[in-house]
A and B are shown apart, each in its own frame.
Chain A
């Protein structure tokens, strides 16, 4: 009986075991099929769903490269700001929140309400907010609002060197200057990167640099020299109540532009508030008749061609000369002048006499040799070539006009380059404003390489012209106002009449006064041109422009620590063993 009882228990246990096993196996089969369904049949659906939950796409922030002056001072950098956006469908901002937002963003509440009522999923509320403002908005913790990092171009020096640096627009698109000319180096594309995130939105590190930066541009400009030039140009503008003014300072041997300024000017941080008149880089985009500064063309040509023996004189006592039926006068009657005195006293009559002896073909040839009528290929946008007509298109009066700087159109930079050729021994240099371009980690990408030097004048002619131009600044010359203590200055004044747009003739009250020269005259370190457009009260280049040259050169020589011409032992603290 006991054995029968045990047999019955065993049967029951076996049944339970079979049922349990069946349930377990069935469950596994169910799980297997479900897994097969999820992993094989609906693989794509679930993997996409998982990916949308776990993976987030982030932008790699693209930042423009910085721009530095020749000594590494920042002149264009990026500010990291934040832009506020909202999703009007998700946004829940009550009247109080809108009022607080408008107070922080300094806008009208109705403007914010208008943005919140738009039928879109993404609306900019305010862009490029300073970090502290963004933090105040963030503390409000408004649902449906978010921030996106954005960079804003910032020019720490404001108006300084504005016509060189240029500016970018609201979307960081290049508009002017270096920003436009070297955009391909400064700009970089950002791209996107996928990052993993958890259910609470926390993001895993990718180990990647989430910011891409463009190349840095190093200019030839020196902030100190640029400041000196702009300060003195402002003074001249105020003194002469001029319409406009331009000054360019260049290393006459290398063509490096050390400073370039125009007036009127504009604030780089507020280009939207500037008009075309202010933004224009007059140094390379505006042409004018150079007047007497052009007399170096006939002077150099005559020397190069050895036309006149030493001691040759020119009878300018009449004070006028007739060419093609047109009478050209000197500002004052000079009497009999030597070749050197013609340039020193800036005699129109004497210059025309030299020009007539040269003939139009040689005048044209030497004007072209000195770079007139051609672009200098300065690395800034908008340069014009100016013009000088070919000899076969000269009129009967041209031979009485071109030698004295009329009937030709030049830019201030072209005139400066021609004088730099006299300063450096006869070579036409390549003006440039960019010295080097480097990657963010300092590797050079581009550096200015001077091409084969183009000789415009012989060394002897250049040396003679230097001596003659020194006399212009000495007693008896037209530019005594450009003389500085301790160093010889060489240069030439120019006073040109502007064309009256109403009468189409030379105006009697609108002039351009200019002075172009270099210093120290015997070992030139700086070549500079100053052009004052429509000064009031005085018109002569020797009065309105030469003092600007003097003031700038005086400070610039101090700034660059260039010694005086006289014996180094004099007034010098000698240190010896």
Chain B
């Protein structure tokens, strides 16, 4: 069998290439492992940040919940006139049922029309 020039160059190059590939693989694996570890550290740092943000969010939610309590909404609206406590605008005022207007939804998709009395001419 005749050894060609091409075959001889390939066999000459194959060993160093294999060695280089082996080295690259070894260092690649080391690099990959260290990258994964450093990513795990970074994730943990982000988790800690998230945890801190969640803590703050819980505090803010608690504050919002406290402020939204009905007694806090109504109190700013109270005023005293003539020794009598009255509710003024700004606070929570329960609707006067005598003046409550009930609206009945009409069937279908037609345009709604309103009347204060049934059958009232408009």
Question: In the complex, what's the smallest C-beta–C-beta distance from B52 to chain A, in angstroms?
Answer: 8
**B55→A80 contact, CB < 8 A:** yes
**B101→A572 contact, CB < 8 A:** yes
* Residue numbers in A under 8 Å from B105 (CB-CB): 575
A205 at the interface (CB under 8 A from B): yes
Q: Do A160 and B69 contact each other (CB < 8 Å), given the known contacts A558-B97, A575-B114? A: yes
Q: Do A205 and B47 contact each other (CB < 8 Å), given the known contacts A79-B58, A558-B96? A: yes
Known: A77-B61, A157-B66, A557-B97. 11 other contacts (CB 8 A): A73-B68, A78-B58, A79-B62, A156-B65, A158-B71, A204-B41, A205-B40, A205-B43, A227-B70, A554-B97, A574-B116
Encoded as 1 (CB less than 8 Å from any B CB) or 0, chain A from 205 to 227 comes to 10100110000000000011001
Q: Which residue of A lies closest to B48 (CB)?
A: A203
Most interface-central of A211, A231, A559, A576 (chain B CB within 10 A): A576
* Residue numbers in B under 8 Å from A131 (CB-CB): 55-56, 59
The answer, among A74, A198, A564, A577, for a CB contact under 8 Å with B106, is A577
**B97→A486 contact, CB < 8 A:** yes
* Residue numbers in B under 8 Å from A561 (CB-CB): 100
The contact sample of 7 A-B pairs, CB cut-off 8 A, is A77-B65, A80-B54, A227-B71, A559-B94, A564-B97, A575-B112, A577-B107
**B44→A204 contact, CB < 8 A:** yes
B19 at the interface (CB under 8 A from A): no
* Residue numbers in A under 8 Å from B43 (CB-CB): 205, 207
A281 to B98, CA, bound (A): 36
**B110→A577 contact, CB < 8 A:** yes
The answer, among A73, A205, A576, A577, for a CB contact under 8 Å with B65, is A73
* Residue numbers in B under 8 Å from A79 (CB-CB): 58-59, 62
Question: In the complex, what's the smallest C-beta–C-beta distance from B96 to chain A, in angstroms?
Answer: 7
* Residue numbers in A under 8 Å from B56 (CB-CB): 131
What are the 3 closest A-B residue pairs judged by CB atoms, nearest first? A156-B65, A80-B55, A205-B43
A73 to B101, CA, bound (A): 27
A508 at the interface (CB under 8 A from B): no
Most interface-central of A149, A204, A224, A563 (chain B CB within 10 A): A204
Q: Do A558 and B62 contact each other (CB < 8 Å), given the known contacts A73-B68, A575-B103, A576-B113? A: no
A198 to B37, CA, bound (A): 10
Q: Do A156 and B62 contact each other (CB < 8 Å), given the known contacts A80-B55, A573-B115? A: yes
A202 to B48, CA, bound (A): 11
* Residue numbers in A under 8 Å from B94 (CB-CB): 228, 555, 558-559
Most interface-central of A73, A130, A559, A574 (chain B CB within 10 A): A574
Q: Do A577 and B71 contact each other (CB < 8 Å), given the known contacts A559-B94, A569-B118? A: no
A449 at the interface (CB under 8 A from B): no
The size class of the interface chain B forms with chain A is: 35 or more
**A558→B100 contact, CB < 8 A:** yes
* Residue numbers in A under 8 Å from B66 (CB-CB): 156-158
CB within 8 Å of B: which A537-577 residues: 554-555, 557-559, 561, 563-564, 568-569, 571-577
Encoded as 1 (CB less than 8 Å from any A CB) or 0, chain B from 63 to 84 comes to 0011011110010000000000
Most interface-central of B51, B71, B96 (chain A CB within 10 A): B71
A202 to B43, CA, bound (A): 11
**B40→A485 contact, CB < 8 A:** no
B108 at the interface (CB under 8 A from A): yes
**A204→B103 contact, CB < 8 A:** no
Q: Which residue of B lies closest to A159 (CB)?
A: B71
Question: In the complex, what's the smallest C-beta–C-beta distance from A190 to chain B, in angstroms?
Answer: 15
A154 to B65, CA, bound (A): 10
**B62→A204 contact, CB < 8 A:** no
B86 at the interface (CB under 8 A from A): no
Q: Do A574 and B69 contact each other (CB < 8 Å), given the known contacts A79-B58, A205-B44? A: no
The answer, among B58, B74, B112, B115, for a CB contact under 8 Å with A80, is B58
Encoded as 1 (CB less than 8 Å from any A CB) or 0, chain B from 88 to 104 comes to 00000011111011111
Q: Do A77 and B71 contact each other (CB < 8 Å), given the known contacts A555-B94, A575-B114? A: no
The answer, among B68, B71, B101, for a CB contact under 8 Å with A573, is B101
A198 to B40, CA, bound (A): 11
Q: Do A558 and B106 contact each other (CB < 8 Å), given the known contacts A573-B116, A576-B113? A: no
A224 to B54, CA, bound (A): 29
Q: Do A573 and B97 contact each other (CB < 8 Å), given the known contacts A73-B65, A156-B65? A: no
A131 to B115, CA, bound (A): 57
A210 to B98, CA, bound (A): 55
Q: Do A158 and B103 contact each other (CB < 8 Å), given the known contacts A79-B59, A557-B97, A576-B115? A: no
Question: In the complex, what's the smallest C-beta–C-beta distance from B33 to chain A, in angstroms?
Answer: 13
Encoded as 1 (CB less than 8 Å from any B CB) or 0, chain A from 142 to 180 comes to 000000010000101110100000000000000000000
* Residue numbers in A under 8 Å from B96 (CB-CB): 558
Q: Do A485 and B97 contact each other (CB < 8 Å), given the known contacts A573-B116, A575-B112? A: yes
Q: Which residue of A lies closest to B70 (CB)?
A: A227
* Residue numbers in A under 8 Å from B110 (CB-CB): 577
The answer, among A77, A204, A554, A563, for a CB contact under 8 Å with B58, is A77
* Residue numbers in A under 8 Å from B47 (CB-CB): 205, 210
Question: In the complex, what's the smallest C-beta–C-beta distance from A486 to chain B, in angstroms?
Answer: 6
The answer, among B51, B100, B103, B118, for a CB contact under 8 Å with A210, is B51
* Residue numbers in B under 8 Å from A154 (CB-CB): 62
**B65→A74 contact, CB < 8 A:** yes
A561 to B96, CA, bound (A): 11
A575 to B54, CA, bound (A): 48
**B58→A558 contact, CB < 8 A:** no
Q: Which residue of B lies closest to A228 (CB)?
A: B94
* Residue numbers in B under 8 Å from A77 (CB-CB): 58, 61-62, 65
* Residue numbers in A under 8 Å from B106 (CB-CB): 575-577
